[in-house]
Amino acid sequence: MDAHEYDRLAEYEEWYWWHRARQTIVQTLLRRYAPPRARILDVGCGTGATTHSLASFGSVVGLDVGMDALRYAQRRGVPVAGSVAAPLAVRSAAADVVVALDVLEHLPDDRAAAREMWRILAPHGILLVTVPAYQFLWSGHDVALGHQRRYRRRQLQDVLRESGFEIELCSYVMASVFPPAAVVRLADRLRPRKQAVQESGYVATPPLVNSIMSHLVGFEGRLVQHVNLPFGLSVVAVARRPRESRG
């Protein structure tokens, strides 16, 4: 991501429905799976709004490769460190929880990054990961954010299992907004581009609509604890490093 996209992310991350809903989903799942007073590493913390929201679950440190992102996160009072995703500049078994929200899709080798997340987790620690869903939804939004790919649920499961994880939960999320969002993304692919620079696809929403959408989509965090949603804009997984682990 370039500096312009970090500026936009920092502006929208506090209030935009997509980010607020994702935070709600993450917090709902951590309440179920995270141990008390966990040591949490947020890999690819971005501008730090979500990282800051994790402090109630334990001690949190954000990691990111982007200096612009780290500066924004520091302004929010988030402890941060610079690191690429593979190899991670973290000692082995240093975390009880690793959070990686929309990170793997940026990396040429997502399996190498997943293996690093496995390495830095203590035995029985958990990884909470999200990725964007469905390659057919590829659009200028993905180009602007520097994505390498989008995922189906099975693809994410394969990456995690091949990296040594046991999967506790894996489901599509953001299903309630999938139909209109898919139309917007597909229309974006058909629209002729008049400028070389593309931007991430934030769609302006009135405050009331923004609030309704954030609560509606955020509720899916409760649903996926009981049922796998059949489709959605994102895939979420909770995976565990086994107590008896290789290496």
More confident: 135 or 14: 135
Q: What is the mean pLDDT of the chain?
A: 90
Whether 240 contacts 168, CB under 8 Å: yes
pLDDT number for residue 186: 83
More confident: 153 or 201: 153
Phi, psi of 157 (to 5 degrees): -60, -45
Domain boundaries, the chain: 3-240
Q: Nearest to residue 201, comparing CAs of 218, 216, 186, 212?
A: 186
pLDDT number for residue 175: 97
AA identity, residue 111:
R
CA atoms within 13 A on the CB side of 93: 9
CATH class of 3-240: alpha beta
Q: How far, in Å, CA of 108 to CA of 184, rounded?
A: 27
121-132 vs 95-101, strand pairing mode:
parallel
- Whether 80 has a pLDDT exceeding 50, the answer reads yes
- Tens digit of each residue's pLDDT (9 = 90 or more) over 123-136: 999 999 999 999 99
- Tens digit of each residue's pLDDT (9 = 90 or more) over 145-185: 899 999 999 999 999 999 999 999 999 999 999 998 888 88
Question: Of all residues in the chain, what percent carry a pLDDT higher than 90?
Answer: 75
SS (H, E, C) 49-92: HHHHHCHHHEEEEEEECCHHHHHHHHHCCCCEEECCCCCCCCCC
Q: How far, in Å, CA of 27 to CA of 221, rounded?
A: 8
